[in-house]
Amino acid sequence: MDLKLKGKKAFITGAGSGIGQAIAKRFGEEGAIAYILDIDERGGRETEALIREAGGTVEFHALNVADGPAVTKLFNDLGPADILVNNAGIASIGNVEATSPEEMDKIYAVNIKGPYHCLHAAIPGMKANGGGAILNMASIVSKVGISDRFAYSASKGAVFAMTLSVAKDYLSDKIRCNCLCPGRVHTAFVDAYLEKNYPDNKEEMFKKLSAFQPIGRMGKPEEIAALAVFLCSHEASFITASAYDIDGGSTLLR
């Protein structure tokens, strides 16, 4: 059996739930040593248990990606990564007028400084180790305009730009850097959003959110994970500086 990531040390941020958890589980199935890095200890331990029960190799480490010194210390303690997945992030809803300076700072700290901290800490080890694969979680809002997503869109545009910059700067070090641009994916976040904002018509709004994608439904975390495995594996050795839409046609068919 060809395990695509056999023996690879994979650092996955935000792996305690949703897309990050699905990526970590799939990486474990493909033979990676999965390092679960998440501020949510309960979720991180859950992911750790799921991978361990399936026979995978896994470690959970509590980490707030917005804390630069903590990121650097942990990455140094763990040693060089073969794979880094910058998945941790938070959402924000509202246009520029509705976005307070405090909200903008919070999004900046997690969605922009978080990936920066991890890239800054991981790349020296990758260089010394002869290369590696980096996958950043961008979004369709990195490329298209969506109403009431000012701060979130700005942060994911930055992630897209960081992907290109890192890919360009580290070609000679054999470090590949790509990003995923998912559309709406059905996770616990979506369910919580509907429960909070549309408690009386959740079903109707779920259908509306699903219909936004031309394919007629939301994505599944496992579908994002399948593409993540490919891009971080030897099979994608010719791919760098690419931004993959995985959005049910939302970017190009609307």
Would 224 be classed as within a structural domain? yes
- Note if 35 is an active site residue: no
Residue 185 has pLDDT above 90, yes or no: yes
Would 90 be classed as within a structural domain? yes
Would 113 be classed as within a structural domain? yes
- In which band, very low, low, confident or very high, does the pLDDT at 197 lie, cut at 50, 70 and 90? confident
Would 160 be classed as within a structural domain? yes
Query: Pick the catalytic residue: 35, 108, 116, 152?
Result: 152
The overall pTM is greater than 0.75: yes
Would 98 be classed as within a structural domain? yes
- In which band, very low, low, confident or very high, does the pLDDT at 140 lie, cut at 50, 70 and 90? very high
Q: What is the mean pLDDT of the chain?
A: 97
Among residues 48, 19, 44, the alpha carbon closest in space to that of 33 is found at 48
> What is the structure's pLDDT at 160?
98
- In which band, very low, low, confident or very high, does the pLDDT at 254 lie, cut at 50, 70 and 90? confident
> What is the structure's pLDDT at 12?
99
> What is the structure's pLDDT at 88?
98
Mean pLDDT of 109-122: 98
> What is the structure's pLDDT at 1?
63
Mean pLDDT of 3-31: 98
CATH number at residue 202: 3.40.50.720
Q: Are strands 175-182 and 132-137 parallel, antiparallel or unpaired?
A: parallel
Would 3 be classed as within a structural domain? no
Q: Tally the domains of the chain.
A: 1
Residues 86 and 13: beta-carbon distance below 8 Å: yes
**Residue 146 structural domain:** 9-246
Mean pLDDT of 137-142: 98
Would 252 be classed as within a structural domain? no
Mean pLDDT of 52-68: 98
Residue 249 has pLDDT above 80, yes or no: yes
Would 27 be classed as within a structural domain? yes
Out of 46-50, 197-201, 213-217, 220-224, pick the least confident: 197-201
